[in-house]
A and B are shown apart, each in its own frame.
Chain A
Amino acid sequence: MKRRPLALMLFLSLSLSAALGQSGGELKFCLHSDPKTFDPFLVADDASVSVRYLTGGVLIRVNRRTQQAEPEMATSWTVSRDGRSITFNLRDRVYYSDGTPFNAADVAYTVQRLMDPALHSPTGDSFRSGSGEVRTIIDSPTRITVTFPAPVAGLDKLFDQVAIVSARSANKDRAVLGPFYVADYKPDSYVLLKRNPNYWRRDAAGRQLPYLDTVRLSIQPNRDIEMMSFRRGEIDLINWLDSEYFDRLLAQSPQLAHDAGPGLDSEQMWFNQVPNAPIPGYKREWFRSTNFRRAVSDAINRADLSRVVYGGHAQPAAGPVSPANKFWFNSQLHAPAYDPAGALRLLQQEGFRLEGSSLRDRAGHTVEFSIITNAGNKARERMAAMVQQDLGKIGMNVHVVTLDFASLIERITESYNYESALLGTANTDLDPNAQMNLWLSSADNHQWNPRQKSPETAWEAEIDRLMKEQASSLDPARRKVCFDRVQQIVVEQQPFIYLVNKNVLSAVAASVANASPVVLRPQTYWNIETLSMGVQTASRH
C-alpha cells in the first residue's frame, strides 16, 4: 500500500522532467587542437572560434539554419542610409556571468578594442572598409550608434562575430554574456565550460537556458581516435566527419549519421600566373591562356571526384559560391560538364596538338607541369591523383607533389615557385565581402597573382570594379547583380578551377536532444543553448 504513492511520484517526476525537456547533463565533444587564444578579438583557428561561439554574447546572431540575422543582445537595429552607421537598441537588465551589468559602454569599449589597428584582429579587419577612426556615440545605456569611416557591406551580419566584452569587470576574461563560460582549461587535455547562471535567454516556457550544465571539449587532433571515442560513447558528437567514417557509421548506426547537404566549402586548383615567378616562360604562357585553363577544367571529371573521393558526399562545384549559400549563389551557373574532346578543341585553338599520347604546345614543348597540395589531407591527395589521370587522357603529364603546409604556403605566397596548386577554402561567412581580399587584384590573397600594382587583365579589372561596387552599395539586389557577374567571370576565365563542394557530414549520439545539424559552422552545436542530454533521438529538419 505504501509503495504505490512512491511509484506514482517517481513516475510523475520522470514524465514531468521529460515533458519539460530535460535539464542538466554534460555534452562532450572534441576540439582538434588547443585553442590558441581566449581573447575574442584575436580568434582565428577553429578551436578558438568554437570556444568564442560558446561563450561570447553577440549583438546580432545569424541563425545558422535560416541564414537570417536575429536579435540577440540587441533587440533591434537600424543601418543608416549611407551604410556607415548602425544604431543598436540593447537589451536591458542583462548581466555578465560574474554579475557585472551590461550596457552600451561595454559595446563602445568592445568596438574600440576591436578596431584598434595595432591589434590586427581578423574580425576587426572585416569591418575595415576604409581608413579612419571608428566613432561610437552612446545615446543611453541601451542605445548606441557606431559609425565607420566608410560604408561596410553586410554591416549587421558582421556583428555575429563580435563578442561583447565587459568594460568594467575586474575579470575580463571570465565575464561573458554567452550561454557558457570557461571554467577550466588544461592544455592538451580539455576545456571545460560551465553554464552561465546569468544568461539572458529563456525558452518558450520561461525556463532559463542553456539546458546543459557543462560542456567538455577534449583536445584530440587524431580523427581516428575521435571516431573511436564516439563509437564508445565517450563523446556525444563529431562536428565534421570525413566521408569514409560517415559511410561506416551509416552502415552501422544510420540514425547517428547526419548529412546536411552541400556545404559552403570548396576545393579548387589554380595555375600560377605571377609574372616574375621562377617557372619557364613558355609554361607561364600556358597558364595565362584562358583556353588552356578552361580546357583543364573541362577535362576533369568532377562527378568521379565526388563519387570516388567523397563517397558521393560532395557535388561538382559550379563556381566560387556553393548552392548552400542561398542568397548569393548565381543559380544560372552550372558545373562544367566532363568533356575531354571539347578540352582538346580548346587547346587546338591555342596551337596545342596531340602527338601520340603526349600534348605539345606551339613551340614543341611537351605539356608537363606539377600540382602541389598539402600532405596529410587524404582527400586532396586522392583528388590530385585523379586529376593526374584525367589530364593524362588529354596528353598532359602531371606530377603530383605533396608538401607540408608551411612549405606549401611559402611557395604560394612568397617564392611563387610552383606551377599549379590544389587547395580548398573553408567559407564561414555568407557575405562576398569577406572575400574582398581574394578577388581584388591588389590583395594578398588573390592567389594566382597577388599584389598586382594595377590589374593585368581586363577581366581582373572588371572583377575589381564589381567588387568595389558591391562593397559600397547597400541595396542587396544591386550587390547580388554585381557579385553574380563576378561569379560568371570566374567561371568564364577559370582562374580558380573549382572542383567540388563537400557535404557537411556529422555524427550526433542518440542521447543528445534537439540537435539538428546544418550547413553553417558550427554545424552540430549552433543551437547549443537548447541542446540537452535526454532520451529523445536527434531531430532531422
Chain B
Amino acid sequence: MKRVRQFAWLFLLLVTVASLGAGLWAPADYAMQFREAPNSPPSHQHLLGTDELGRDRFSRVLYGTRVSLLMAPAAALLSTLLATLVGGVAGYLGGWWERVAMGATDLFLSMPWLFLLLAVRAMLPLNIAPITSVAVTFLLLGLLGWAASARVLCAGARGLRDSDFVLQARASGLRGVRLLAIHVMPNLKPVLAAQFLISIPVFIISEANLGILGLGVSEPLPSWGSLLRELESFTSLGFEAWKLVPLALLVLVVSGFQIILSRNEVYA
C-alpha cells in the first residue's frame, strides 16, 4: 500500500508541475485556431489532435489542468470546511442548534440555486477576465456544495457526542473547541475525506455545465469540464479515443487523491 501511495503522490506532483509549467512546454497557445485542420486526429504537431475549431488539444489539456487542478480542490476544501462547521458543530451541540441547522440544510438542498447563479452573473461585469469568471464559479460552487455532507457529519457528530471516549474526555476536563478538535473531528475524517473527493469531479463538471449561464470558464480558456463536454459529440462525430484523455486524467487524479487520503486506514 505504501508503494501505491508513493506512486500516487508522484503522479499528482507530476501532473501539477506539468500544468503549472504549461506556458513553457505547451506546443501551441491554447487559443490558437489552426483553421485548416479542425477535428483532426493525433499527429506530429498535435499530439492529441485538434478540437472543432482547430485548437491543439494537448495544449488545452495542459492549461485546462492548471485551471481545474488548482481551483477544484480549493473549492472542495471550502465546501468541506463549511459542512464541518454547520453539520459537525451542530451535531455535536445537539438540541435546538441541531434542529435549526438541519432544517436549514434541508432547505438549502432543495433550493433552485440556478437563479442565484444567474443573479450573480448579472451583477458581474461582462468584461471580466476568463480566469476571474472561473474563480467566481468555483467559489460559488464551494459555498453552495456543503449541504449534502453536512447532514452526514451531523449524524456522525451526534453519535460521537454520546460515545464513551468523548464522555471520558469531558469528565477529565476537556471542553469546547479542544474537545471538538482532538476527539470529535478526527473521527469524522472518513466523511470529510469522502466529501472532499466527491466534490472535486462534481465541481469540475458543474463548472462546465454552468457555462450555460455565462459563468464558468469563458472562451478561449479551457478547463477540464469544458474538455469533458467534447465527449458529448460522439453521436455526431463518433468515438475517438484521444478525446478520452482528459477523462482518464481526471479519473487518475481523483483516484490519486483517494489513495493519499486513506493514509490512516487500517486494512485489518
A binds B: yes
Residues of A participating in the B interface, judged by any CB pair closer than 8 Å: 224, 227-228, 242, 244-245, 248, 304, 307-308, 368-370, 372, 375-376, 381-382, 384-386, 388-389, 399-404, 407, 417-419
By a CB distance below 8 angstroms, the chain A residues around B33 are 308, 385-386, 389
The one of A242, A382, A404, A407 that contacts B53, using a Cβ cutoff of 8 Å: A382
Q: Does the CB pair B118–A399 fall under 8 Å?
A: no
Q: Does the CB pair B126–A407 fall under 8 Å?
A: no
Bound CA–CA A399/B35 (angstroms): 20
By a CB distance below 8 angstroms, the chain B residues around A404 are 118, 212-214
Q: Does the CB pair A385–B213 fall under 8 Å?
A: no
Q: In angstroms, how far is the closest chain B Cβ from the Cβ of A91?
A: 46
Q: Does the CB pair A399–B220 fall under 8 Å?
A: no
Bound CA–CA A143/B126 (angstroms): 59
B205-239 contact mask (Cβ, 8 Å, vs A): 1 or 0: 00000011110001110000000000011011110
| Nearest neighbor of A224 in chain B, beta-carbon distance | B235
Q: Does the CB pair B38–A227 fall under 8 Å?
A: no
Residues A388 and B236 in contact in the complex (CB < 8 Å), given A308-B53, A401-B214: no
Using a CB-CB cutoff of 8 Å, which residues 44-82 of chain B contact chain A?
Answer: 52-54
Residues A385 and B214 in contact in the complex (CB < 8 Å), given A227-B236, A370-B127, A399-B128: no
By a CB distance below 8 angstroms, the chain B residues around A388 are 219-220
28 contacts between A and B (CB under 8 A): A224-B236, A227-B235, A227-B236, A244-B236, A245-B236, A248-B236, A308-B52, A369-B127, A370-B126, A375-B212, A382-B53, A385-B219, A385-B220, A386-B33, A386-B35, A388-B219, A389-B31, A389-B220, A399-B127, A401-B214, A402-B211, A402-B218, A403-B214, A407-B118, A407-B122, A407-B214, A419-B126, A419-B127
| Nearest neighbor of B55 in chain A, beta-carbon distance | A385
Residues A402 and B212 in contact in the complex (CB < 8 Å), given A368-B127, A372-B126, A389-B33: yes
The one of A376, A386, A403 that contacts B121, using a Cβ cutoff of 8 Å: A403
Q: In angstroms, how far is the closest chain A Cβ from the Cβ of B80?
A: 30
Q: In angstroms, how far is the closest chain B Cβ from the Cβ of A459?
A: 28
B30-41 contact mask (Cβ, 8 Å, vs A): 1 or 0: 010101001000
Q: A370-B127, A404-B118 are in contact. List 17 more A-B contacts (CB 8 A).
A: A227-B235, A244-B233, A248-B238, A307-B35, A372-B214, A375-B211, A375-B212, A375-B213, A376-B212, A384-B219, A385-B220, A386-B33, A400-B218, A400-B220, A403-B214, A404-B212, A419-B126
Bound CA–CA A376/B233 (angstroms): 13
B108-130 contact mask (Cβ, 8 Å, vs A): 1 or 0: 00000000001001100011101
Q: In angstroms, how far is the closest chain B Cβ from the Cβ of A397?
A: 9
Q: Is the interface of B mostly helix, strand, loop or mixed?
A: loop
Bound CA–CA A308/B233 (angstroms): 16
**Number of residue pairs across A and B with beta carbons under 8 Å?**
80
By a CB distance below 8 angstroms, the chain A residues around B121 are 403, 407
Bound CA–CA A224/B234 (angstroms): 9
By a CB distance below 8 angstroms, the chain A residues around B238 are 248
Q: In angstroms, how far is the closest chain A Cβ from the Cβ of B211?
A: 6
Q: In angstroms, how far is the closest chain B Cβ from the Cβ of A378?
A: 8
By a CB distance below 8 angstroms, the chain B residues around A402 are 211-212, 214, 218
Q: In angstroms, how far is the closest chain B Cβ from the Cβ of A506?
A: 16
Bound CA–CA A382/B39 (angstroms): 13
Bound CA–CA A228/B238 (angstroms): 12
Bound CA–CA A208/B198 (angstroms): 64
Q: In angstroms, how far is the closest chain A Cβ from the Cβ of B184?
A: 43
Q: In angstroms, how far is the closest chain A Cβ from the Cβ of B84?
A: 34
Q: Does the CB pair B218–A401 fall under 8 Å?
A: yes
| Nearest neighbor of B213 in chain A, beta-carbon distance | A404
Bound CA–CA A478/B21 (angstroms): 66
Q: In angstroms, how far is the closest chain A Cβ from the Cβ of B178?
A: 49
By a CB distance below 8 angstroms, the chain B residues around A382 are 52-53
Bound CA–CA A12/B212 (angstroms): 60
By a CB distance below 8 angstroms, the chain A residues around B232 are 224
Bound CA–CA A372/B235 (angstroms): 28
By a CB distance below 8 angstroms, the chain B residues around A376 are 212
Q: In angstroms, how far is the closest chain B Cβ from the Cβ of A407?
A: 6
Interface centre among A369, A403, A418 (most CB of B within 10 A): A403
Bound CA–CA A293/B169 (angstroms): 75
Bound CA–CA A82/B53 (angstroms): 54
Bound CA–CA A224/B128 (angstroms): 33
By a CB distance below 8 angstroms, the chain B residues around A384 are 219
The one of A248, A399, A401 that contacts B237, using a Cβ cutoff of 8 Å: A248
Bound CA–CA A269/B190 (angstroms): 53
By a CB distance below 8 angstroms, the chain B residues around A375 are 211-214
Residues A244 and B220 in contact in the complex (CB < 8 Å), given A308-B54, A399-B126: no
Q: In angstroms, how far is the closest chain B Cβ from the Cβ of A307?
A: 8
3 A-B pairs with the lowest CB-CB distances in the bound complex, closest first:
A370-B126, A400-B219, A244-B236
Q: In angstroms, how far is the closest chain A Cβ from the Cβ of B166?
A: 49
By a CB distance below 8 angstroms, the chain B residues around A369 are 127
Interface centre among B31, B130, B218 (most CB of A within 10 A): B218
Q: In angstroms, how far is the closest chain B Cβ from the Cβ of A418?
A: 7
Bound CA–CA A382/B52 (angstroms): 8
